[in-house]
Each structure stands twice: as structure tokens, then as C-alpha cells.
């Protein structure tokens, strides 16, 4: 069975299949803030979607983080390190990539167990 959460005409914010939830890349609701502020917003969105899917951040398996400027890696990491529970760190990749609009300074995609 496949369950889709917050579905729109182009994509779903989360898709649950079996015991796994796949989140769409999450970006900030208010892109006017710096990368640390955007990262906090994105992580809050991830928390909300994981709970809606029946999971939480301790069950994250894999994360891909996209930064349009890899020079902001430390700012993003300061927020990530405060958010991710020690002993529950997922497999992770961080890449420099152009995002959908220049206002977005971070996008995070998550796969988690339920």
C-alpha cells in the first residue's frame, strides 16, 4: 500500500510505502532569512512530516542536503548538529547545487523508517 501526504498536482510532500517514508526536498517557508534560519525552518517541516507519517527524526535512514553555496556548510551544520539526536545520525550527503529559486539557501531530502 502507498500513502501520500500533502499531495498536490505536481508532487506529494511525503510518500509512505511499507515501513519507509520518503520526504520531498524541503525548503524554507520564509526564504528571506539566512541559511541558519532557513535550515531551522526546513528541519521543523521535516519533524512535522515525519510525525504525520508515523515516524520521527530518530528513525531517519538517509539525508541529502543541497546547498547552492557550499561556503554556508558550517552555518547549516550548526543547526543540523543541534537538531539531530546523538546516536541517531543518518547516512548523509551534502552537495552544492543550484536550487529552484535563488532565495532558497538549503534544501533537505529525507528517507526514514516508520
| CA-based radius of gyration for the chain | 14
Average pLDDT of the residues in 76-102: 97
Residue range 38-70, pLDDT digits in tens = 999 999 999 999 999 999 999 999 999 999 999
Residues 93 and 64: beta-carbon distance below 8 Å? yes
Q: How many CB atoms are located within 10 Å of the residue 53 CB?
A: 21
Domains in the chain, please, with CATH? 2-113 (3.30.1330.40)
Coil, helix or strand at residue 59: helix
Q: How much is the pTM?
A: 0.97
pLDDT of residue 19: 98
Amino acid at each position: 500500500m502507498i500513502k501520500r501526504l500533502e499531495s498536490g498536482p505536481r508532487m506529494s510532500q511525503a510518500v509512505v510505502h511499507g515501513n519507509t517514508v520518503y520526504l520531498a526536498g524541503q525548503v524554507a517557508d520564509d526564504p528571506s532569512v539566512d541559511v541558519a534560519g532557513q535550515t531551522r525552518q526546513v528541519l521543523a517541516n521535516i519533524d512535522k512530516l515525519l510525525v504525520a507519517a508515523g515516524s520521527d527524526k530518530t528513525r531517519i535512514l538517509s539525508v541529502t542536503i543541497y546547498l547552492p553555496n557550499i561556503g554556508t556548510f558550517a552555518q547549516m551544520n550548526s543547526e543540523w548538529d543541534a537538531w539531530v539526536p546523538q546516536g541517531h545520525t543518518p547516512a548523509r550527503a551534502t552537495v552544492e547545487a543550484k536550487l529552484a529559486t535563488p532565495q532558497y539557501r538549503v534544501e533537505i531530502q529525507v528517507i526514514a523508517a516508520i
